[in-house]
Structure 1
Amino acid sequence: MRLFLVFAILFGFYSEVYGKGSLDIDMKLKALNKPALKTIKSEDGDIIDCIDIYKQHAFDHPALRNHKIQMKPRVEFGAMKTTIPNNGSDEQITSQIWSKSGDCPTGTIPVRRVSREDIRRVSSPSRFGKKPPRKYSFLDNALQHKGNFNITAERVNRPRPMFISEAVLIALGYNYLGAQSDINVWNPPRVQASDYSSSQIWLLGGLSDTFESIEAGWAVNPSVFGDSRTRLFTYWTKDGYDQTGCFNLLCSGFVQTSTKFALGGAIEPVSTPSQKQYYFTASMSLDTGNGDWWLVYANHVVGYWPGSLFSYLKHSATAVHWGGEVHSPNVRKKQHTRTSMGSGQWASYLWAQASYHTNIRIKDNSLQIKYPEYLSEYADEYNCYSTKLHRRTYKSEPHFYFGGPGQNSRCP
C-alpha cells in the first residue's frame, strides 16, 4: 500500500511537470510570448517584450491572416469639453510604470510577458485571460425596438449572470459609432485572489446569448496578473465570452499600433481619498468604412479591433455601459466576496471618495459628439455596489459615481 501511494504521488508529480498539463502550458506560453527585439525589466517586476508589430498576436487569428495593418485611424472620436468634477485639478495619467525603465523602438509594440505561474493559476490554459460566459437579455428587446426601450432592473439582467456583479450607467440606441469618458483611477481594496474588479466602458451589440463586446478601462485581476496592482486593460468577445476573446493580447484579435502603452501594464499613480484624483480618457470609435474600432487612451492611439472579428459591431453598437464590474465565485451568496469596486466607497460619497466616470459622451449616426439623451442606472447588488448619476447644480452636467465595499452589514 505504501509503495502504491508513493507511486501515485510520483506519477501525479510527473504528470504535472512533464505530462499533458505541462505541455499545454508550454504551447500556450509559446503562442503568447513572441520573440522579442528588445526586453525591458520594469521596476514593478513586469517584463516587457518589444515585439515586431507585424508579428504580433493579432495575426494568429484566422480572420486576420491576410489583414493589412492600419497604422493610424481614418476617424477619431474628436475633442470634448472638459468638465472634471473639481473644476480641473484632477490630473490625467499619461504613462505606465514600465516606461520609466526604457521604451520600445519604432516598428515594435510593448507586450507584457506571461509567466508559467500566470497560467498555472487558472483551471485550464485554454481559459487563461477569459471571462465566464453570460447573457445580456435586454439586447434582444433593444434590437426589436431599435433602441426605444425602457430599461428596468428586471430587463437588464434576467436571468442574472453567475459570478458577475455590475454597477453601471446604460445608454441604449441603435447606431452608436463611439463612446468616451474620463475614468477615475483607483486601487480597490481587498480584491480576493480568485476575483477581479474593474472600471471600464463597454460597447455591445448582437443578441443576448451571443452578444459582441469591446471593452476598455482599468482592472485589478490577481488571477491573471498575480498581484493587486491597477492595470490598463482591453477585452473583446463575439459570443458572450463563451469561446472567443480575452483580456489584452492574451489571445489573437486586437491589433496594437502604439509603442507607448502596454496592455496589462500597471498604472501609477492612483487616486487617494480626499486628495488629488487621477484619471485617463478612454474612447472607442468606429471606422464605418471598414468596421474597425479604434481605441484611444489619454489622447494616444493604442490600436484597434478589426471589423472582421465581428458581425454586429462592425456596423454599430446597440448599447454603451459606463461603470464597474466585480467577478467572483462569491457574488450573490450569503458569504459575499470582500472584493470592492471602484474606490471601495459608496457612490453617494461623491468626488475624491467614490470612483467616477465623467465627460460621458457618445457618437451616433449624426456624427456629433454628445451627452447621451437617455440613460439608466443599474446595479446587480445595490447593497454591495451602488450607483449615482449626480449634478452639482441644475445647470451642470451629470457625473456618474459608482462602487462599494462588497461584503458589509447590508451585504453579508
Structure 2
Amino acid sequence: MVIMLGATVTLIRCGVLVEGKLFSKQKILEAERQLNQLRRPAVKTIQSEDGDIIDCIDIYKQPAFDHPALRNHTIQMAPTYDTTKETKTMKKMDRWKKRNEEQSPITVKQTWHKSGSCPQGTIPKAILFTEGYRYNGAKGDIKVYNPSVELDDEYSTSQVCLINGAYYDFESVESGWAVNPSVYGDRQTRFFVYWTVDGSQKTGCFDLTCPGFVQTSHEIALGAAIHPISVPHGLPYQIIVYIYKDPVTSNWWVQYGERINIGYWPPELFVLLSYHATSVEWGGEVYSSRVGTTPHTRTDMGSGHFAESSVWGTSGVIKRIRVHENSPGLKFPDIVNTLMDEFNCYDVKYLSDYVEDPEFYYGGPGRNYMCP
C-alpha cells in the first residue's frame, strides 16, 4: 500500500468539458454526493438497452431508511385499501368503458424490463448519468524512457489513467511505466498497474502489492523491467496500453501491446468506477515531498527533457490517443485540454495542427535555473 503525500504533475486531460461548459466543483461534488446516496450494494444489476443501469437493492437497505425518523420503521408491503375492488358505480361504467376502449390510452412499460427483472425482496433503483461523461476505456502508445529519480522515496511515471470522482477524492485505474525505488528497490523502468479509491490520500496500490488486481496472463509480469529503453536522439521504443471496461462483467481490463490481456480490477473495488470513468488522463507524473518547494526535486519527468515535438524526439511522448465512449470502438476524444503544474520545472506540448494524428509531448528535469 502506497500513500502519496506530495504533489503530482499530470499533463493532459480529456473529458473535462461538455458542450463548451465547465462544471463548477460545487456542482460536481453535489452530483457525486447524490450518486453516492443512490448507490447501494446490489443483489442484481441490469444493463438496460437504453443505457440505464438498474440496481436491484435489498428493500430494507433503500435510502429511505437513512432518515433518523425511519430507523425503526416497519415496511407496509401493501396498502390497506384494495383499489381493484369493484363498486356499483364502476359496474355502471362498464358499458361506457367498452364503447370507448379503442380510444383509451395504452399503458406503457419501462424499457429496462426487456433486459431482466428484480427478484422479490428487492427494489429497482435507476442510476442515471449525463451523456458525454461515460468513458469505458482509454489507450495510448507511450514512449519508454529511464528518467533520473533523485531520492529513494520519489518516483516518475508515464501512464494512461481513467478517473471518476472529485478533484481531491477520486477513484482511478492506471497503467504505464514507472521508475519507483521505494516499490521496486532499484531505478529500472518497469511496467506497472495502479489503483486508488480516494485520490491516493490513504489508498493506492501498485501491481500485486495489495489485494485487488486479478492477474490472468502468464506472459506479462507486473513490475518487471522493460527492455529496450529509448534514449534522446536514439531509436524510439514504446509500450501500448489499453484500459477498458468489460460490458458484461464491468471488470476494468488492462491490455498490453494490443494482444495480451493481463488482468483486471473487479467493479466491487469501486463505487464510482463500478459504472464508468468521467475523465481520462495521459501523461507524466512525478511524486516527491519536494514538489512545489525550494529546493525542488531533481527527479525527471519523461526523458528529463522539456517537451519537444521536433523530429529528434528528445522528450516524453504519447501517440495514438484514443478513448472508448458509449458506442463500441475506439475514437479520438472530441475535447482535449492540457493541464500542467509547475511549468518552469516541467512542460507540455499538444501537437494537433498539420499532423494526421495529434501527439502529446511532455517532460522536464525538475530543478533547473528556472525552477530552483
- Scaled by the length of structure 1, what TM-score is found? 0.59
From 356, 359, 370, the counterpart of 1:399: 359
Structure 2: gaps of 5 or more residues: 10-14, 29-130
Shift of 1:301: 0.7
Larger Rg: 2
Shift of 1:223: 1.5
What whole-Å deviation, never above 9, does each CA across 1:32-85 have from its counterpart, x for those lacking one?
Answer: xxxxxxxxxxxxxxxxxxxxxxxxxxxxxxxxxxxxxxxxxxxxxxxxxxxxxx
Contact 2:7–2:289 (CA<8 Å) still a contact in 1? no
Quick one: distance in 2 between partners of 1:226 and 1:249?
Answer: 15
Find the counterpart in structure 2 of residue 356 from structure 1: 317
Q: Which has the higher helix share?
A: 1
In structure 2, the CA distance between the partners of 1:402 and 1:151, relative to structure 1 (3 Å rule), is farther
Q: Does 1:297 align with 2:256?
A: yes
Q: Does 1:129 align with 2:2?
A: yes
Find the counterpart in structure 2 of residue 226 from structure 1: 185
Quick one: distance in 1 between partners of 2:169 and 2:23?
Answer: 22
Which amino acid is 2:327 matched to? S
In structure 2, the CA distance between the partners of 1:288 and 1:370, relative to structure 1 (3 Å rule), is same
Secondary structure of the structure 2 residue equivalent to 1:224: helix
Quick one: distance in 2 between partners of 1:198 and 1:135?
Answer: 10
From 183, 192, 202, the counterpart of 2:142: 183
Shift of 1:349: 5.1
Find the counterpart in structure 1 of residue 272 from structure 2: 312
Find the counterpart in structure 2 of residue 192 from structure 1: 151
In structure 2, the CA distance between the partners of 1:275 and 1:281, relative to structure 1 (3 Å rule), is same
Quick one: distance in 2 between partners of 1:279 and 1:151?
Answer: 37
Shift of 1:209: 3.6
Shift of 1:197: 0.3
Contact 2:176–2:241 (CA<8 Å) still a contact in 1? yes
Which amino acid is 2:298 matched to? R
In structure 2, the CA distance between the partners of 1:146 and 1:292, relative to structure 1 (3 Å rule), is farther
Quick one: distance in 2 between partners of 1:348 and 1:407?
Answer: 18
Mapping of residues 196-215 of structure 1, within 5 Å: 196-215=155-174
Shift of 1:131: 2.9
Secondary structure of the structure 1 residue equivalent to 2:182: helix
Find the counterpart in structure 2 of residue 28 from structure 1: none
Q: How many residues align?
A: 261
Secondary structure of the structure 2 residue equivalent to 1:314: coil
Find the counterpart in structure 1 of residue 209 from structure 2: 250
Contact 2:159–2:283 (CA<8 Å) still a contact in 1? yes
In structure 2, the CA distance between the partners of 1:325 and 1:173, relative to structure 1 (3 Å rule), is farther
Mapping of residues 261-340 of structure 1, within 5 Å: 261-299=220-258, 300-340=260-300
Shift of 1:243: 3.3
Secondary structure of the structure 2 residue equivalent to 1:369: coil
Find the counterpart in structure 2 of residue 101 from structure 1: none
What whole-Å deviation, never above 9, does each CA across 1:279-335 have from its counterpart, x for those lacking one?
Answer: 010001111322211100112110000011111111110000000000011111120
Contact 1:148–1:173 (CA<8 Å) still a contact in 2? no
Quick one: distance in 1 between partners of 2:281 and 2:201?
Answer: 20
Which amino acid is 1:214 matched to? V
Quick one: distance in 2 between partners of 1:238 and 1:217?
Answer: 19
Shift of 1:151: 10
Contact 1:205–1:312 (CA<8 Å) still a contact in 2? yes
In structure 2, the CA distance between the partners of 1:388 and 1:332, relative to structure 1 (3 Å rule), is same
Contact 2:7–2:292 (CA<8 Å) still a contact in 1? no
Which amino acid is 1:362 matched to? V
Secondary structure of the structure 2 residue equivalent to 1:347: coil
What whole-Å deviation, never above 9, does each CA across 1:252-272 have from its counterpart, x for those lacking one?
Answer: 000000111111111111001
In structure 2, the CA distance between the partners of 1:372 and 1:150, relative to structure 1 (3 Å rule), is farther
In structure 2, the CA distance between the partners of 1:135 and 1:276, relative to structure 1 (3 Å rule), is closer
Mapping of residues 116-155 of structure 1, within 5 Å: 128-132=1-5, 148-149=21-22
Contact 2:309–2:349 (CA<8 Å) still a contact in 1? no
Find the counterpart in structure 2 of residue 377 from structure 1: 338
Q: Does 1:217 align with 2:179?
A: no
Shift of 1:132: 3.5
In structure 2, the CA distance between the partners of 1:135 and 1:200, relative to structure 1 (3 Å rule), is closer
Quick one: distance in 2 between partners of 1:378 and 1:298?
Answer: 27
Contact 1:291–1:308 (CA<8 Å) still a contact in 2? no
Which amino acid is 2:143 matched to? N
Q: Does 1:390 align with 2:263?
A: no
In structure 2, the CA distance between the partners of 1:151 and 1:367, relative to structure 1 (3 Å rule), is farther
Shift of 1:383: 0.5
Quick one: distance in 2 between partners of 1:189 and 1:133?
Answer: 18
Quick one: distance in 2 between partners of 1:144 and 1:389?
Answer: 17
- Scaled by the length of structure 2, what TM-score is found? 0.65
Quick one: distance in 1 between partners of 2:149 and 2:270?
Answer: 36
Quick one: distance in 1 between partners of 2:3 and 2:209?
Answer: 9
Contact 2:16–2:22 (CA<8 Å) still a contact in 1? no
